[in-house]
A and B are shown apart, each in its own frame.
Chain A
């Protein structure tokens, strides 16, 4: 099988990439989707708040997905459902499997990775105790409720204040479950402010910062968890242990980009963003392989995911037309107080959209500095749970030499 642009994954990142690859002139654009429907995680996100930036509308996840699916159908993107990409090589050959063809290869002129993330599970964060039923990641619980129509439990403790966990606190409450509290090991929440307000405060669900679950109890099913306060090194403080009776523990403790295929294709993985090392054109370190959405870096908003999809799709289409293995680039490096910084390289081909997160919680005015461009931006605060987006036009960058460094500095009132 051959294609101009093949997109691995049919979630928001993949759909937008495919759409813009097609709009930018790629002839055969093919999406490989492992599930039986397109839409990815949006399918189970039945709450609103999607699309405020891209569509200027407050949509639910399925509505947002449906718009994109309608669009790709209009422009004539091909897709294969129930199809899993199992291998990827750096010559842009994908090996996939489905129940119609068995195992088959796709030779593609360019590729967009859009595999998204997986959730960190119990094993990754090491919570001791028994191994009963009733421990789920927030995303699995969301699927049980919103897709399958089942409640995972009635008395719930949520560990981690990531956005999915917060959304699920509200969702479970609306379905009649009692959410006993959200416990966050950090001294600040992991999810967006609006979700803290709308999902916890509005429903009187307590949020315990600097707390974690130190033991799981129960034989067949969870019967409770032991929580404790943690110190500044995130170690449990003796004497603060408290048993909380519950039948369910939900984990909302972070997302990990799905890098298995990327690694197989020898794509360099960034220790900062945990996804591929990328340029402003969303190209990875392997020419012709692009990346979009959460497989690149974990975004807060689906609109940011879509934005990377627009860029990845356009550049993948261009690469499919005329291979442009431009190797010239400068690095983009996180400076003081900058945690996550994306993308990693600038290759002088497009505008640069920077996405960054503060490295620590700074609750006073800050200035974001971009060297050597002499750019400064002021903000009222810098919070790691809110991604900052900065667009820099190509004109400003063409003369830049040497690496770009982004830093955040506290400034006086």
Chain B
């Protein structure tokens, strides 16, 4: 039976790719072995295997000529040697941070390990900040369940954590009679996916929700639960709240091994020393399969899928909702729900993301192709839907970036205790709509830990985090009042986004110990405006130097070796 199943997969892979592979099926996990001609072929084989139903996972061990080995960072210190925590969470993206906060409701000692010098910088940072409605995910999947449950939790979570959040809605407009009929079918689909009370709007109602639509648009479907949020800020808020409830965060700490004994988790080996623990939560995003492999429980493979996004200048913001049409949906990549124009909570319009399979997990480079693809695909549609506005074009772009999604071949989330290793919990394959799902995922992990570890509930858990009020959010009299007490409030450092010295100083003394220019940018928006740091970069560096006692030559853009300067000038060296 088992053998027959494997043969069927081998046959199908050969038929479609002409590649000869070896397939092993162990406990409904398929392992692909052998050599193929390219990374693309390896990917195709993985997807073909994953298309067989009832599989728990697909692991690709396929080799190909240009294959690059993943290099893990070398050990840098022993400072964590001998430390012990009840729970260790690997990865401080939005998922790791949400889990940390949720688990801090227990009487447990918790550590979060993050390989970068800041939290939320991989998938989270490159996320488009949309809290998706659930109808775009496949009904019945774990992704879908986490999506609709998570979406519904956002009002409470953002109120507790004081994170700006707006439900702006997804609006799908019909451009002809046929599409108007399709709207009603879509309405049913949306309800079936448990997005609450979608509504078909007539033209008058449309004008209130999304002014300036083209005259040929008579009807649209509003799925109002779509929200927008800053993914950085949510992650930071989760982590700050977790830290205030006793969680310890270790930055620049990468996991290089997992010690188990008789199939029990015992310790994790990190670049900063070995930490003892009985409960390891694998929220390692792009490297979640590697953590699973370290623990001897590899049953999925992460294949990074890069997505590029364009950000437009604030003066170009023709949309109030996430506006979609049937033709826009046709243009989407089958593995991406996103793709389109999405307003951000900060008032910019963004376009993206693309979806492109890449081999290198660290590949976050953008290409002309990405930018042109996005503009060519979506700009003409937007112009048709909203002809009053100028077309989205290159000259309105202020920046663009790409990030890699941590996709598995099954393309579903994995949130479960290991079937092999006691104390190991996988939270893997979390790609879009992972942000929308984050609160529900954290809740699910909370339940798993309660079952597995059976800890006491903490009496003194404080769910509230207060955000630092930004200059741009205060009226003149409040700024004046604060400036009288502390002059830094009145000293503007970033001219585009109106960020004061006080905000930057505050970040540098936060519980999350950061000192890079980008860490400040993510938190305050200093350098995110139209001049892209031309004015504030030297000023921000001067503040870092002063507050952290860090020589300017040691200041980085984004941690690691991303030094901004290369030593003093000749005169300075004297």
**Residue from A97, A129, A152 in contact with B492 in the complex, judged by beta carbons closer than 8 Å:** A97
- Give the contacts of A139-166 with B (CB-CB under 8 A): 139-140, 143-145, 147-154
Considering the complex, give the chain B residue whose CB is closest to the CB of A148.
B538
Determine if A97 and B490 form an interchain contact, defined as CB atoms under 8 angstroms apart. Answer: yes
- Could you show 23 A-B contacts with beta carbons less than 8 Å apart? A34-B492, A97-B492, A99-B489, A101-B490, A103-B477, A103-B483, A103-B490, A121-B533, A128-B367, A131-B401, A133-B562, A149-B571, A154-B566, A176-B570, A215-B365, A215-B367, A219-B362, A219-B560, A220-B556, A220-B557, A220-B560, A220-B562, A220-B563
- Give the contacts of A193-218 with B (CB-CB under 8 A): 214-217
Determine if B562 and A128 form an interchain contact, defined as CB atoms under 8 angstroms apart. Answer: no
Which of chain B's residues have a CB closer than 8 A to the CB of A150? 552-553, 565-569, 572
Interface membership of chain B positions 367-411, coded 1 if the CB is closer than 8 angstroms to chain A and 0 otherwise? 110110000000000000000000000110111110000000000
Residues of B within 8 A of A (CB): 311, 315, 362, 364-368, 370-371, 394-395, 397-401, 476-477, 479-484, 487-492, 495, 498, 501, 530-535, 537-538, 552-553, 556-558, 560-572
Cβ-Cβ contact count across A and B, 8 Å cutoff: 153
Distance in angstroms between the alpha carbons of A129 and B363 in the assembled complex: 10
Considering the complex, give the chain A residue whose CB is closest to the CB of B516.
A133
Report the minimum CB–CB distance from B466 to chain A (whole Å): 22
Which of chain A's residues have a CB closer than 8 A to the CB of B480? 101-104
Contacts A102-B480, A103-B479, A151-B567 given; 13 further ones with Cβ under 8 A? A34-B495, A86-B498, A97-B490, A100-B487, A126-B400, A128-B366, A128-B370, A128-B371, A133-B562, A150-B553, A152-B564, A176-B570, A220-B563
Determine if A133 and B564 form an interchain contact, defined as CB atoms under 8 angstroms apart. Answer: yes
Report the minimum CB–CB distance from A205 to chain B (whole Å): 18
Report the minimum CB–CB distance from A201 to chain B (whole Å): 23
Determine if B399 and A123 form an interchain contact, defined as CB atoms under 8 angstroms apart. Answer: yes
Closest 6 CB pairs of A and B: A102-B480, A103-B476, A102-B483, A133-B557, A99-B487, A123-B399
Looking at chain A's contact residues, the main secondary structure is mixed
Distance in angstroms between the alpha carbons of A148 and B552 in the assembled complex: 9
Determine if A129 and B365 form an interchain contact, defined as CB atoms under 8 angstroms apart. Answer: yes
Report the minimum CB–CB distance from A270 to chain B (whole Å): 16
A84 part of interface (Cβ distance < 8 Å): yes
Residues of A within 8 A of B (CB): 34, 82, 84, 86, 95, 97-104, 118-119, 121-124, 126, 128-134, 136-137, 139-140, 143-145, 147-154, 175-176, 214-217, 219-221, 247-248, 263
Which of chain B's residues have a CB closer than 8 A to the CB of A99? 483, 487-491, 501
Q: A102-B480, A132-B557 are in contact. Are A151 and B565 (CB under 8 A)?
A: yes
Most A-side CB within 10 Å, residue of B400, B476, B489, B565: B565
Which of chain A's residues have a CB closer than 8 A to the CB of B362? 219
Which of chain A's residues have a CB closer than 8 A to the CB of B532? 121-124
Considering the complex, give the chain A residue whose CB is closest to the CB of B555.
A133
Distance in angstroms between the alpha carbons of A82 and B495 in the assembled complex: 12
Determine if B366 and A123 form an interchain contact, defined as CB atoms under 8 angstroms apart. Answer: no
Distance in angstroms between the alpha carbons of A149 and B568 in the assembled complex: 6
Which of chain B's residues have a CB closer than 8 A to the CB of A131? 364, 401
Report the minimum CB–CB distance from B241 to chain A (whole Å): 29
Report the minimum CB–CB distance from B199 to chain A (whole Å): 37
Report the minimum CB–CB distance from A176 to chain B (whole Å): 6
Which of chain A's residues have a CB closer than 8 A to the CB of B564? 133-134, 152
Report the minimum CB–CB distance from B509 to chain A (whole Å): 19
Distance in angstroms between the alpha carbons of A131 and B563 in the assembled complex: 13
Report the minimum CB–CB distance from B465 to chain A (whole Å): 27
Considering the complex, give the chain B residue whose CB is closest to the CB of A137.
B534
Which of chain B's residues have a CB closer than 8 A to the CB of A97? 479, 483, 490, 492
Determine if A151 and B569 form an interchain contact, defined as CB atoms under 8 angstroms apart. Answer: yes
Determine if B495 and A130 form an interchain contact, defined as CB atoms under 8 angstroms apart. Answer: no
Which of chain B's residues have a CB closer than 8 A to the CB of A154? 566
Report the minimum CB–CB distance from A148 to chain B (whole Å): 6
Report the minimum CB–CB distance from A241 to chain B (whole Å): 12
Distance in angstroms between the alpha carbons of A67 and B239 in the assembled complex: 54
Report the minimum CB–CB distance from B485 to chain A (whole Å): 10
Distance in angstroms between the alpha carbons of A263 and B532 in the assembled complex: 20
Determine if A118 and B567 form an interchain contact, defined as CB atoms under 8 angstroms apart. Answer: no
Q: A100-B487, A129-B365 are in contact. Are A121 and B476 (CB under 8 A)?
A: no
Distance in angstroms between the alpha carbons of A8 and B284 in the assembled complex: 50
Determine if A118 and B535 form an interchain contact, defined as CB atoms under 8 angstroms apart. Answer: yes
Determine if B531 and A119 form an interchain contact, defined as CB atoms under 8 angstroms apart. Answer: yes
Determine if A126 and B371 form an interchain contact, defined as CB atoms under 8 angstroms apart. Answer: yes
Most A-side CB within 10 Å, residue of B315, B495, B552, B570: B495
Report the minimum CB–CB distance from A311 to chain B (whole Å): 27
Determine if A153 and B534 form an interchain contact, defined as CB atoms under 8 angstroms apart. Answer: no
Report the minimum CB–CB distance from B175 to chain A (whole Å): 30
Which of chain A's residues have a CB closer than 8 A to the CB of B537? 136, 140
Distance in angstroms between the alpha carbons of A121 and B479 in the assembled complex: 31
Distance in angstroms between the alpha carbons of A55 and B162 in the assembled complex: 58
Q: A150-B553, A247-B566 are in contact. Are A118 and B492 (CB under 8 A)?
A: no
Determine if A153 and B566 form an interchain contact, defined as CB atoms under 8 angstroms apart. Answer: yes
Considering the complex, give the chain B residue whose CB is closest to the CB of A221.
B562
Determine if B557 and A118 form an interchain contact, defined as CB atoms under 8 angstroms apart. Answer: no
Which of chain B's residues have a CB closer than 8 A to the CB of A104? 476, 480
Considering the complex, give the chain B residue whose CB is closest to the CB of A131.
B401
